[in-house]
């Protein structure tokens, strides 16, 4: 396991710093995108509420039948509920992914030390976090790692192109 954890460690401090900067920049971009989506969902919800008010006004003035009102209002309420679920999901997602990426990077740099100091329960938790599947084949342990640990252990390659 220690050899595996060593594969996850990035020894070059400049590369490690670069990864942190890239993750933070990506987080900033994701937060900006998320904020725009939150704004759009909020605007849609406001328009639906305005439509519901207009529909109620029509019903109060007797311009539409109660069955038509009930059907249309139900449609608008269901649409509003779907948007509310999207809004809640967007709120939760706002910084969650970037935070997790930074935590994974930091954890990958300290797994060896954590493993050596860990008791059995903590070691099991580390294995559950890092490994997707552990199986014995003949006399050896076959390890399938979770993303992104597998990518890190496989070696990081940078493709230089027009965007770099």
**Which runs of E-coded beta strand occur in 1-159?**
131-137, 140-145
**CA–CA gap between residue 85 and residue 112 (Å, rounded):** 41
Looking at the predicted structure, is the pLDDT value of residue 134 above 50?
Answer: yes
Average predicted confidence (pLDDT) for the chain: 83
Task: Identify the band that residue 158 occupies on the pLDDT scale cut at 50, 70 and 90.
Answer: very low
Cβ burial 77-86 (10 Å sphere, 16+ → b, else e): eeebeebeeb
Rounded to whole angstroms, the Cα distance separating 158 from 164 reads 9
Q: What is the pLDDT of residues 36-67, one digit of tens each?
A: 888 999 999 999 999 999 999 999 999 999 99
Judge whether residue 142 has pLDDT over 90.
no
Confidence (pTM): 0.51
Top pLDDT among 136 and 41 is at 41
The more confidently predicted of residues 60 and 100 is: 60
Report angle CA 34, 38, 43 to the nearest 5 degrees: 150
Answer for the pair 132, 146: CB distance below 8 angstroms, yes or no: yes
Q: In angstroms, rounded to a whole number, what is the distance separating the alpha carbons of residues 155 and 164?
A: 19
pLDDT recorded at residue 159 = 44
Q: Across residues 123-144, what is the average pLDDT?
A: 83
- The larger pLDDT score, comparing residue 156 to residue 132, is at 132
């Amino acid at each position: 396991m220690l050899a595996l954890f060593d594969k996850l460690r990035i020894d070059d401090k400049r590369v490690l710093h670069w990864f942190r900067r890239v993750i933070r920049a990506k987080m900033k971009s994701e937060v900006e995108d998320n904020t725009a989506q939150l704004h759009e969902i909020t605007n849609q919800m406001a328009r639906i509420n305005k439509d519901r008010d207009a529909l109620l006004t029509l019903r109060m003035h007797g311009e539409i039948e109660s069955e038509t009102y009930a059907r249309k209002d139900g449609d608008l309420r269901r649409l509003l509920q779907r948007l509310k679920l999207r809004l809640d999901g967007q709120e939760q997602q706002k910084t969650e992914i970037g935070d997790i990426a930074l935590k994974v990077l930091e954890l990958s740099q300290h797994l060896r030390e954590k493993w050596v100091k860990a008791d059995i329960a903590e070691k099991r938790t580390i294995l559950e976090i890092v490994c997707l599947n552990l199986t014995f084949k003949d006399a050896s342990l076959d390890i399938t790692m979770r993303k992104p640990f597998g990518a890190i252990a496989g070696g990081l390659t940078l493709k230089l192109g027009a965007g770099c």
